[in-house]
Amino acid sequence: ARPRYPNLDCRVQVIRNEYFGETITVAGLITATDLIAQLRGRDLGEEVLITSAMLRHEQDRFLDDYTVEQVELALGVRVTVVDNDGWELLGSLLGEDVFSPEQGGNN
């Protein structure tokens, strides 16, 4: 993606599930407590993308009752919730609408 998107700089950060135990490895059970503890103090750039699976079905809180806004304040960076979909993630990374092949190609 570098030649086409030279200003794109993204990093994937592993979050250990210390809240429920490290043997729990699904994104839907990651808590704000773990996000904050493991990301605070790091260079997070302009934005942190998280999957919508990390939030309760109402999409307003993590399992440990923190809101997305509370995580943003704790980390000092915008947190964007992305649908649990690869094309949605790609679109969020690139800052543009991206259409899956099933939707008739990409933008």
Query: pLDDT tier at 21 (50, 70, 90 boundaries)?
Result: very high
Pick the range with the lowest mean pLDDT from 72-76, 91-95, 99-103.
99-103
d(CA 57, CA 41) in angstroms, rounded, equals 29
| Per-residue pLDDT, 3 | 72
| Per-residue pLDDT, 42 | 94
Greatest alpha-carbon pair distance for the chain in Å reads 42
pTM to 2 decimal places: 0.80
Asked whether 42 and 13 are in contact (CB, 8 A), the reply is: yes
Residue 67 phi, psi (nearest 5): -95, 165
